Amino acid sequence: MGTSRLETKVGLFVLVALALLAALLVQFSKNRSLFQASYELRLHAANVGGLKQQASVLLAGVQVGSVSGIQLAPDGRSVTIFLRIRKAVKIYHDARFVIEQAGFLGDQFVAILPTANEPPLLHDGDEVPCEPPFNLQETARAAAGFIQRIDATARQLDAAVTDLRQTVLNGHSLTNIAVAVDNMRSVSDRALDTINDINSLVASNGSPVSLAVSNVLLFSQDLTRLATNADNLLQTNGPEINLAVKNIRSSTETLKDLLRGMQSGKGLAGAMLQNEPLSTNVQAIAYNLAVASSNLNRLGLWRFLWHRESPSTNAPRPRPPRAPIP
């Protein structure tokens, strides 16, 4: 009788322990409960950092699933992460998947960051990209390289400042700068004296300057009136001026016609130009007329006639050659 009671108590203790163990397994199974439906998503990342299986999957900070597996690609360049998400949780295709870390030394987890929540929804077996975790060591290496570049730049600046001190800020250069400052000061003093002289000149000759300005103003007014009168004259005598211009133009055309006629041999002048013997006769006649007029002016009319009738004048006199008349 005592043995049967002992076995019963041991059996009850084992059952209670198994029940507690099952409850603990359900509680700490990272939502992989046999009583809840789920679907699988496949994430592709270049590096998963320290992410492990059974890691949490958080959507807006709420745990909605867990990491069921991590598989390395055959080429070794990427990693596939398998997520188990509760069936009731809806994730849109534009959501971001990021591997983050809880605190500075906490465990890593997969964070789902919703954006615009545009359809369609993700379903079982869909593949989505995942952003790699923040690599503190890579950041430290990059910061170390950046610090080295800053150190090199600081050394170059130090060398440049040293060269500047040696070449520009030496005693000779400072002396030259001081001399230049003194020269500039003397130049500025001379400029002030010149300005004062100009002011005194203007002040002492204010009346002549005003008179000159008045004369210039009066002259400009006279020029304005002259221009106004000329404009009125042109407007008043516009038709006459146009007629005069037309007459000049017609006279020019007539003169051109006469010149063309003379060149073509029309008229007496044209004939003289074209006929050389006639031109020679006309020249001889003009020469005789010139000689006769010269004798008339020198001797008078009666003396000219008496001179022609006197015996001394009967001698032959040279005459200019005459061209035959055609």
- Decide: 54 and 30 in contact? Cβ < 8 Å: yes
Q: 163 lies in a domain? A: no
Q: 49 lies in a domain? A: yes
Q: Which of 89, 110, 134 is the last residue before a domain boundary?
A: 134
Q: 44 lies in a domain? A: yes
Instruction: Give the whole-angstrom CA distance, residue 139 versus residue 66.
Output: 28
The amino acid occupying position 7 is E
Per-residue pLDDT at 207 = 76
Helix (H, G, I), strand (E, B) or coil at 286: helix
The amino acid occupying position 151 is D
Helix (H, G, I), strand (E, B) or coil at 111: strand
Q: 79 lies in a domain? A: yes
Per-residue pLDDT at 323 = 46
Per-residue pLDDT at 200 = 80
State which H helix or E strand residue 123 sits in: none
Full domain range(s) for residue 286? 276-313
322-325 long-range CB contacts below 8 Å, 24 or more apart? 322/281, 322/284, 323/277, 323/278, 323/280, 323/281, 323/284, 324/277, 325/277, 325/278, 325/281
**Binned average pLDDT, 10 residues per bin, the chain of 326 residues:** 76 88 69 68 87 89 90 87 91 90 81 88 90 74 77 85 75 80 87 85 76 82 85 81 83 80 67 68 80 74 53 48 46
Helix (H, G, I), strand (E, B) or coil at 315: coil
Tell me how long the chain is: 326
Per-residue pLDDT at 64 = 92
Per-residue pLDDT at 138 = 67
Q: 181 lies in a domain? A: no
- Decide: 128 and 41 in contact? Cβ < 8 Å: yes
Instruction: Give the whole-angstrom CA distance, residue 299 versus residue 262.
Output: 40
Q: 224 lies in a domain? A: no
Per-residue pLDDT at 176 = 81
Q: What Cα–Cα distance (Å) separates residue 102 from each residue in 57, 59, 88, 134? A: 12, 14, 25, 12
Domain count of the fold of the chain: 2
33-37 long-range CB contacts below 8 Å, 24 or more apart? 36/86, 36/87, 37/86, 37/87
Per-residue pLDDT at 11 = 84
Per-residue pLDDT at 40 = 92
Q: Which of 69, 101, 134 is the last residue before a domain boundary?
A: 134
Q: 167 lies in a domain? A: no
Q: 116 lies in a domain? A: yes
Q: Which of 86, 118, 134 is the last residue before a domain boundary?
A: 134
